[in-house]
Amino acid sequence: MLQWLVQYWTVTLGAKSTEELDAEHYLFVVATGLHSVASVNCVAFNRWYLLLTSCLAMLAAGTLLAFSTLYDALDVYMYGSQTKTSVTVLYQAYIWMGLSAAISGPFIERRGPRIGMTVATMLLAVGFTLAQLAVTTKAQLFLTIGYGFFCGGGFGMAIVSTMTASQKWFPDIRGLTAGLCMCSFGAGTVAGANVYKAFLNRGGFVQVVTDVRNIPHVFWTTGNVRPLLIRFKFSSVVTRTVKALSLVQCICSTDFFCMYIAFAASIIPAMVFSSEFVAINTKVFGQSVDVTNSSKVQGLMCYANPAYARKIVFFFILSAQLGSMAALSSENMTFESVRSLSFTYVFGSGGSMALIQCFVTDMFGVYHAGTMYGLVFTCWSLRSAIVGYGFADFQVTRVSFRNQMQWMLVVVVIGWVALLFVRTNSVDRFFYGYKYSVCGKVVVQIAFHRHETTNDKDHDDSLTILAPPKVSPASNDFVLWNGYDHVRTSGVQHPQARQDISDTA
């Protein structure tokens, strides 16, 4: 069992067959076997088709949150009154969606997003069938199993498959694709809620959605201002170094642990605050629901370079939340200040959801991006379930809201500090031990003792490359460069760290 777990969490990609390589030139393929496909030579493949499909998949996944519109109707239909029982179905869906996203990552990386989306579609088909059976028979168990387990797991796999494909096919505009996908996710929530309301005869499609969690979060960052610059030398260094880490090393790294905490800190306040936003404005400040719904969240477009700059943007998001909480955590709160706070929270939550996809890809590589994002996504799903169960009976008053603001301020501070320890410097991350630098200055450096083995003595990691041109270059000049020399210059001592240069004319 342990060996199987180790093998499953070790992603090894095999070579593609000739049929698969030929089929990738076309948009539509037909599976002819377990490892064989045949192409339909009618439409040539274009990566923008994939982006459109990804947005549609996220649009469908966003309808999961629209289930909140059906709480009261399902309670009245099944139990005769509003018992708040059906709300637990969505919490179960959140939990299984997070677990599915975390566990399915290695499977999707091996088999590809096409197989991942196929399995997700099958789970959703079974889930919606059981949900319809639950409505027909008024059986809550079928609804919990169908929508909570199968639909939650299916949406989790669909989100990871979508993210994996879009991040791999758009290395030049990863942030833009992530932002569009998350925008589609929010749009799916709003569209699904309005469709449900229309079928329930509650005012038609134009009725305003009263749940502010359904506001779409629009935020994107692009890899470069000019995508043509994506192949400059620093990008090649990042691409090369991230492949050196195994999946287990990525999961167990301190950088991922700190990133997880920072991401949690950026989205937890938004979930808590948005679930109470209507109650705060109506009960504490005496505002109407129409005035509350007039609070709209606008989008933001910003350009950033990979890894390090995404960390800076993450700091901006957490700092904005931190500053707004510190400024508004007073007894003189007004409706306008709370509405401004809602702008900051929803902006930060939506921004971090889009940004984290690009961040994990830049930090851990495209071959581990799906798995790492699936693990990070558990933070979002578990947050929703914990907040839902924990604050189900919470009574909103001015005093309770102020106390809640204080502990959320502590959460954001912890996330802000944790983000400081996310190392985007490749020299620090691949140091044999722990190394942390600030602006090129080494702050902490703890080297681990490396025992010399027989494999180290016999290993020869050398490459033959062309030498730079000289004043009178010869046609057969070459340089013999030892791969360990790069490690030696970065501060790691190795018994084979030496440089051999040989020129012949």
Q: How many CB atoms lie within 10 A of CB 91?
A: 19
Using alpha carbons only, give the angle 28, 29, 35 rounded to the nearest 5 degrees: 155
Q: What's the rounded Cα separation, in Å, for the pair 3 and 63?
A: 38
The predicted pLDDT at position 244 comes to 58
Q: Are 39 and 51 found together in one domain? A: no
Q: What is the pLDDT of residue 119?
A: 93
| Structure confidence at residue 145 (pLDDT) | 93
- What backbone torsions phi and psi does residue 205 show, to the nearest 5 degrees? -70, -25
What's the sign of the alpha-carbon dihedral 449, 452, 456, 461?
positive
According to the model, what pLDDT value does residue 155 have?
93
Q: Which amino acid is at 63?
A: T
Residues linked to residue 30 through DSSP beta bridges, in sequence order: 38
pLDDT at 74: 87
Judged by DSSP in three states, 497 sits in coil
Q: What is the pLDDT of residue 395?
A: 66
Apex 358 CA angle, 318 and 299, nearest 5 = 55
Whole-prediction pTM value?
A: 0.69
Beta bridge partners of 481: 463
CA distances from 4 to 10, 86, 282, 392 (A): 10, 38, 55, 40
**Same domain (yes/no): 56, 119:** yes
Assess contact for 260 and 376: CB atoms under 8 A.
Answer: yes
Assess if residue 401 is contained within a domain: yes
Count of H-run helices and E-run strands, the chain:
21, 8
How many CA atoms are closer than 13 Å to the CA of 408, on its beta-carbon side? 26
Instruction: Please state whether 216 falls in left (phi above 0), alpha (psi between -120 and 50) or beta.
Output: beta
Residue 225 counted as domain residue:
yes
For residues 169 and 313, membership in a common domain is answered with yes
How far apart are the C-alpha atoms of 277 and 260, rounded to whole Å? 26
Give a yes or no: residue 441 inside a domain.
no
Q: How many domains does the chain have?
A: 3
Q: Which domain holds residue 28?
A: 2-44
Q: Find the CATH number of the domain harbouring 140.
A: 1.20.1250.20
Residue 448 lies in a domain: no
Q: Same domain for 23 and 65?
A: no
Distance separating the N- and C-terminal Cα atoms of the chain? 58
Q: Report how far residue 203's alpha carbon sits from residue 437's, in angstroms, rounded to the nearest whole number.
A: 58
Residue 444 lies in a domain: no
d(CA 174, CA 152): 26
Claim to verify: residue 36 and residue 175 sit in the same structural domain: no
What is the pLDDT at residue 329? 64
pLDDT in tens, 346-375: 777 777 887 888 888 888 877 788 888 888
For 83-128, how does the pLDDT look when each residue is reduced to its tens digit (9 = 90+)?
Answer: 778 888 888 888 898 889 888 888 888 888 888 999 999 999 999 9
Q: Both 472 and 414 in a single domain?
A: no
- Output the pLDDT for position 59: 92
Same domain as 390, residue 285: yes
DSSP state of 396: P
Residues of the chain with pLDDT under 50: 203-241, 243, 289-305, 454-505
Say yes or no: 40 and 69 in one domain.
Answer: no
- My answer on whether 29 and 147 are in the same domain is no
Residue 437 within any structural domain of the chain: no
Same domain membership, residue 225 and residue 368: yes
φ/ψ (deg, to 5) at 464? -105, 120
**Has residue 34 been placed in a domain?**
yes
Residues 72 and 39 in one domain: no
216: CB partners within 8 A, 6+ apart: 183, 185, 186, 187, 189, 190, 297, 350
Long-range contacts made by residues 428-433, C-beta under 8 angstroms, separation at least 24?
429/241, 429/253, 429/255, 430/241, 430/244, 430/490, 431/490, 431/491, 431/492, 432/492
Amino acid 446 reads I
Q: Residue 52 half-sphere exposure, CB side, CA atoms within 13 Å?
A: 6
User: Do residue 348 and residue 468 come from a single domain?
Assistant: no
Look at residue 286 and tell me if it is in a domain. yes
